[in-house]
Every structure is written in structure tokens, then in C-alpha cells.
Amino acid sequence: MPVVVVANPKGGVGKSTMATHVAGYFAGKGRSVMLGDADRQQSSRLWLGLRPPAARPVATWELGEGNIAKPPKGTTHVVLDTPAGMHGKMFKDVMQLADKVLVPLQPSIFDIFATRAFLDELAEHRKASKMQVGIVGMRVDPRTIAADKLQEFVDGLGLPVLGYLRHTQNYIHLAARGLTVFDVAPGRVERDLAQWEGICRWLDN
């Protein structure tokens, strides 16, 4: 049962957008997916509450005090949305569970430096395990200097940039309905689906 963790110590970088979309992608492929929300803000849980009955199901779990609960029986894929500033025992517990870690990262100098120590720690952890780590540029045009700087920074860590997701109202409007780009007619979100292709290949491998 693969466990995909979405993590970044900085808030407001798009962790919940990433986590809900990964869950929506797995659900769209007919997987029995569970989306766990370990963040105090509970954005992913809110999204689950908005998800319409007609959409492909995404289950949830209950988070015990200081512990991560087990997924429901029959779950084939787990996605975990984590809080900003995750460290210490929670960081260790989550990384022991993780098969893949997705790090959404905005290409600003402030976000890059705020995430540097976390990525260094992930890179070290990856060396000692089979865990895979991938970066996703959030709210960025891959043709810009900012994207080049992000790529240059990540290259120094030996981590792949899986894709760049543009800044679009599509994510906002879909989230308000408990949906993802994988839940609507492809023609409506064609450009966004194209940007997800590299991320999806990585998730499937």
C-alpha cells in the first residue's frame, strides 16, 4: 500500500491543493484511496466534506492525539497532508510511513530558504531508505527566471522537479466544490492536466 506524503515546513505553499489532487488522481484511477489530514487547519478534511456524492470516493481517517491512525480496511493508496513546521517525533513517524514525499515549493527566495533545511533532511533520509522525494513548483511559469532558479536550487540537492503548476482560479473553484482537475471534463482543464502528467507518472512508478 503506497503512502504519499505531501510536506513542506512553510505554510501557504499549496500542500492541501497538492494532497487533494493526488487523492483525486488515485480515486479517478479506481483506487481505494484514503486522504489523511494531520494539519491543524484541516483543509483537506474540509475539502472531503465538500466532495459531492457523485464524485469518485475518497475516504478519511481519524487522527488520534499525537498519533496517526491506521487507514480503513481495503485501502490501496494513502495520501497524507501534513502541517507547516512539521518536525521532531511527527516528522520521524511520518517519514517512516512514507514511500513517496511530494514537496510543493514556490520559486521565491523566501520559500526556497525556508525549505532548505527540510529538503536537506529529506535528502539524508532518502539515502538511508527507499523513500522517493519529488519537488513540484507551485504557482509558477516554467519559462521564467524564477523557475530556472528553483531548478538550479533543487539540482544541487539531487532531487527531481516533477512539474510546475500554474497560478489559476481553476484550483480555487474546484476546491470549493470538493473536486480536482481529475473530476471534471478534461476539455475544461486541459492545460492543467498537461502540467500534471510528469507528477502522475512519478506517482505511478
Q: What is the pLDDT of residue 21?
A: 98
CATH number at residue 78: 3.40.50.300
Region of residue 30 (phi > 0: left; psi between -120 and 50: alpha; otherwise: beta): left
Q: Which residues of 100-136 are buried (b: 16+ CB within 10 A; e: fewer)?
A: bbbbbbbbeeebbebbeebbeebeebbeeeebbbbbb
Q: What is the pLDDT of residue 124?
A: 77
Which residue shows C-alpha cell 475544461? 188
Q: What is the pLDDT of residue 68?
A: 55
Q: Which domain holds residue 157?
A: 3-204
Q: Give me 30's grid cell.
A: 479506481
* pLDDT tens digits, one per residue of 3-53: 999 999 888 889 999 999 999 999 999 999 999 888 788 899 899 999 999
Average pLDDT, rounded, for the chain: 88
Q: Is the pLDDT of residue 127 over 80?
A: no
What pTM does this model have? 0.90
Q: What is the pLDDT of residue 101?
A: 94
Average pLDDT over residues 165-179: 95
Report the percentage of the chain scoring pLDDT > 90. 50
Closest CA to 197 of 78, 25, 17: 25
* pLDDT tens digits, one per residue of 89-116: 787 888 888 899 999 998 887 888 888 8
170 neighbors 194 (Cβ within 8 angstroms): no
Q: Is the pLDDT of residue 150 over 90?
A: no
**54 or 127: which leads in pLDDT:** 54
Q: What is the pLDDT of residue 185?
A: 96
CA distance 65 to 93: 14
What is the band of 168 on the pLDDT scale with cuts at 50, 70, 90?
very high
Q: Is the pLDDT of residue 118 over 80?
A: yes
Q: How many domains does the chain have?
A: 1
Average pLDDT over residues 59-85: 78
* pLDDT tens digits, one per residue of 80-89: 999 887 777 7
